Amino acid sequence: MKNSTTISLVFAFAFLVASCGSRSGKTDNQNELKDSTIVKPQAELKDPFPVEINNFRGKPHYEVLIMNRDAEGAGGAGNYYNSLGLTFDVSDEEMDARFRALNAKELAKEYGGDGARFNGPRRFLVNRVSGMTWNGGKKYMMGTIPVFVYGTFVVPDYDAFMAGTQKPYHESVSKRTFAFHYDAGEEVYELISPEGAVFTMFSASLKIDPNNTIDKLPTLGERLSLLPKGWVFRVRTLEKDLVIEGTHDSDPPNTIVLDEFENNYQRNRTGL
């Protein structure tokens, strides 16, 4: 079903590269972070192309990561292709079914990777977002699903990542420049770490639980059975607009967290 969501491709300066590695502790994470920055991506990206995405809260989006093993070591890297900002002329359920029917081996072969990992189906929770696609804003096709290439993803353990066995509630580094805009009056879903760090959900996943729809998120805390001691799930209604921003070279770096259902949360360093 076609909706009124719009994506405006504009020439304005921004830079988006995702480069992520799992974290298991302060000392280990520092080593992993150092290693992850020297891993070359599956394919070098060029021709950055800025985007402004409007009215996208609640809309479906789909992501495929085309990954390659490192020539040496256990890690890997690749590009991620995401339909964020694109709308479709069929129902969300039909698009979800098309995504789940994709063949990982065929896509890895087509795009020159050692493997493909599917991230989704997903529902976006941000009202507006500024970001960057690459290769001149070219659209690619994952089966019948159009996507942009949004950046590069780096992992310290290729096999664990492809098997989907990375731990939830561990921060991962995401090197990108972005601005997530949540409107006043919207309900937001957050994780708070024992140290008081706030992570705001920006994308809900239907991969593990197909019934994890947005209307179920207010009670998500009751279903998070693996929430570590000291972590808190919070639901609140925004009294004013919330903007979460980050830059690719920020110090400390941008970080994200996945919960046990693979809902995706961005660390909020810019405002509550």
pTM, two decimal places: 0.81
Q: Which two structure tokens, joined as six digits, stand for 195?
A: 């140290």
The position carrying tokens 């480069």 is: 19
Spell out the domain ranges in the chain.
Answer: 6-267
Decide: 212 and 205 in contact? Cβ < 8 Å. yes
The yes-or-no verdict on residue 41 having pLDDT over 50 is no
Decide: 149 and 66 in contact? Cβ < 8 Å. no
DSSP assignment letter at 176: B
Half-sphere exposure of 220 (CA within 13 A, CB side): 28
The angle subtended at Cα 166 by Cα 164 and Cα 169, nearest 5°, is 125
Decide: 17 and 6 in contact? Cβ < 8 Å. no
Decide: 254 and 18 in contact? Cβ < 8 Å. no
Decide: 239 and 184 in contact? Cβ < 8 Å. yes
Mean pLDDT of the chain: 82
Nearby residues of 221 by Cβ (< 8 Å), 6 or more positions away:
227, 233, 234, 235
Of the ranges 10-24, 89-103, 198-212, which one carries the lowest mean pLDDT score?
10-24
pLDDT of residue 149: 87
Of the ranges 74-83, 162-171, 213-222, which one carries the lowest mean pLDDT score?
162-171
- Spatial separation of the C-alpha atoms in residues 120 and 135, rounded to whole Å: 23
| Backbone φ and ψ of 158, nearest 5° | -60, -50
Alpha-carbon Rg for the chain, nearest whole angstrom, is 18
The yes-or-no verdict on residue 194 having pLDDT over 80 is yes
- pLDDT confidence bin for 15, thresholds 50/70/90: very low
User: Who has greater pLDDT, 64 or 166?
Assistant: 64
Residue 118: closest CA among 173, 169, 81? 81
pLDDT digits (tens, 9 = 90+) for 122-153: 999 999 999 888 889 999 999 999 999 887 77
